[in-house]
Amino acid sequence: MTKKLMLLLILIAMLLSSCIVRSSLTFTEAQTQDKINLLTNPSFNPYSLDPQTALHGWRIDTDPPDQELGKIVIDTSTALDGKTSVRIDASDHAVILISDSFEVIRYGGYYISSAVRSDSPEMPEVELRFIAFKEDGKIYNSFKKKIKTKPEWSKGEISAGFIRPGVKRGRVAILIPPFEEGSLWIDDAGCWKVHHFRSD
């Protein structure tokens, strides 16, 4: 009985220490100074009049799939960074913005962020994700952060690292849930490699 209790205490200590290491991984926007944003089109600038290709650097999906995309608009009157943002008007389906993939390295530390705002009385929560995967597309790391929307711009941030061996590519995804009234805007997205961990 004492031996089992001792093993249990050791296991709890290991779990707690691993949690502390993960939570201490904190990068800041200040660390992005002079670093390259890995996203192709972080300010959602229009590249074409064709709705299918206008949002260069991003893919738009819906859940359930194949829904009408007319409620997703490049907005030239509201922006935090640059001259445009993406506006999602009230809809009964979820919308997912997925960035083009970019190279990541195992020993890299990454800072990911996006700004959101909404005039919806529901104040829908947006989910920001950083996904790291192998060349075959199999996901090995996924980090996420909920962003509570407000009438003014607010920013969600992720600090990501300790990427598994063999992982080569990454994407940023922004998930917008269904909401009944108003609009939601997204702007100033980014992913930067801000740290390099020492390897053995």
pLDDT in tens, 76-94: 999 998 899 999 999 999 9
Task: Tell me the whole-structure pTM to 2 decimals.
Answer: 0.83
- Average the pLDDT over 2-7 and give the result: 45
Other beta carbons within 10 angstroms of residue 167's beta carbon come to 20
What class, spelled out in words, does domain 29-196 have in CATH?
A: mainly beta
Question: At a CB cut-off of 8 Å and minimum separation 6, what does 193 contact?
Answer: 35, 36, 38, 104, 105, 108, 109, 110
Mean pLDDT score across all residues of the chain? 86
Per-residue confidence (pLDDT) for residue 7, from 0 to 100: 38
